[in-house]
Amino acid sequence: MAHWLNEKKIKALTWQDKTETYRDGKVPGFFVAVNKTCKSYKIQADLWQGPNGRRILVRTIRHTIGTTETHSLVEARDIAGELLSKIKRGIDPFPPKRQARDGEEIMVINGDPVGWTVDELMLNYAAVLAAEEKSERSIKNVEETRVRYLKRWRGRMIVEIRKSDARALHTYITVNHGKVVANQTMRYFRAAYNIAARLSDDNEALEYNPVQGVVFHKERASKRVILPQLIFDWWRQLEELPNPLRRELHKLSILSGLRPGTVVSIKRDWIDLLSCAIHFPKMKNSDGFDLPLSWQMVECISRAQKVSEVLYPGAEWLFPTRAKDRSITHIKTVRENKMPSQTGHILRHTHRTIAQAVGISPINAKLLLNHKIPGIDGVYIHDVALFGPLLHDQQKISDCIMKLATDRVTCPPRLPHS
């Protein structure tokens, strides 16, 4: 149903628990979309091309012009009229194009980035990461940043974002979500903006990245670690957790040193207990990784498999759970209320510290954690060829951790003060 839109009517429109659209009776194809956070001016029209009598539908073009905060109704109508006129004549205002990156082609979904909103910028950036075969976690982080932390810019055109806007948002996120999140949000936006600038035909419109005006907070690497003399008590607390799957989850975390997001997403098809390995098809660095399994890790995984099969028969994950919609997914959070700050990434630090204590070479310790090897060593050393020695080192680390967990002794040699 078409409405003769005016500023008063648009101002009176409110969110009704779902996105509603109100089409303009003056300019067909132009409408206002009301969602939870803003009201946006949009166009939608079918693009037909070809000679008369043989025209074909190329695609349906849907484009966000801006929000009611960035454009007046008159301005939005004028822009919509120009775009819809081009589409009617068979001209694509936002032609999809392909640009090369490092010898590969990537698809730009919505045409020249100059016409993108912040939402479209981040969606296209996620598409670029997917085309480059980056890890699913990296792509999800970009999406979470778009939805949670860039929502104050939703509907704004990227060419309108200024340095002062970036500083203001950085400050807002710092106050409400913390320094690390604020820095990370700006890094994602900066990277997305740089991609857009390179893809755009307009060399001046996106010349200056607004994140240049942000003073980043100084971040210090976390030095938290479970000290050797505390592992005995930590293990006792762990055994008191009521959920057996979560108990095995944390045990495997400290024995493997895997990142929290990696350990919860282990699929049962990746596990090869006969070869003492988990074959990860893709890690954070986008490469595959074979994790060597000590016999303690094999036992931990076997127990988790049995419990998983009883509670969630046929689940594809090693550590499944039930989502709010009752579907089966993997465990999403590793935090434990009864063990504050004693699960998650701290266990990765602990694994690395124990490795150092028992004399594992720095390079092998990094390879076990799937860390990048710096310098020329990173070019010539291949972890696949070293699986046997790495399995031996993994066993030494597990033996030490289990001795600390059961005998309340200090793992030799003495750990340096941390």
pLDDT digit of tens for each residue in the chain (418 aa)? Answer: 566 788 888 888 888 877 788 888 888 989 988 887 788 888 888 888 877 777 788 778 888 888 888 888 888 888 888 889 888 888 877 765 444 344 444 444 556 787 788 988 998 888 888 877 777 778 888 888 998 999 889 888 888 899 999 999 999 999 998 888 999 999 999 999 999 888 887 777 787 899 999 999 886 656 678 888 889 989 999 999 999 999 999 999 999 999 988 999 999 999 999 999 999 887 766 678 889 999 999 999 999 999 999 999 989 999 999 888 888 889 888 888 888 888 988 999 999 999 999 999 988 898 898 877 665 444 445 566 688 899 999 999 999 999 999 886 544 445 444 3
* β-strand partners of 321: 329
Q: Is 262 exposed, middle or buried (0-12, 13-18, 19+ CB in 10 A)?
A: buried
Asked whether the bond before 96 is cis by omega within 30 degrees of 0, the reply is: no
Longest alpha-carbon distance in the chain: 86
- Cβ(142)–Cβ(134) below 8 Å: no
CA 48 – CA 6 distance, rounded (Å): 30
Alpha helices in 215-264 (DSSP H): 228-239, 244-256, 260-264
Residue environment code for 321-357, b if the CB has 16+ CB neighbours within 10 A, otherwise e: beeeeeeebbbeebebeeeeebbbebbbbbbbbbbbb
pLDDT score recorded for residue 382: 55
Strands 2-3 and 20-24: parallel
Number of H helices, E strands in the chain: 14, 12
* CA dist., res. 205 & res. 113, Å (int): 10
- pTM for the model stands at 0.54
DSSP reduced 3-state for 411: coil
How many CB atoms sit inside 10 A of residue 281's CB? 10
147 in the Ramachandran plot: left (φ > 0), alpha (ψ -120 to 50) or beta? alpha
In this structure, are residues 352 and 418 in contact, taking their beta carbons and an 8 Å threshold?
no
Rounded to a whole number, what is the distance in angstroms from the first to the last CA of the chain? 68
8 Å CB contact between 400 and 363: no
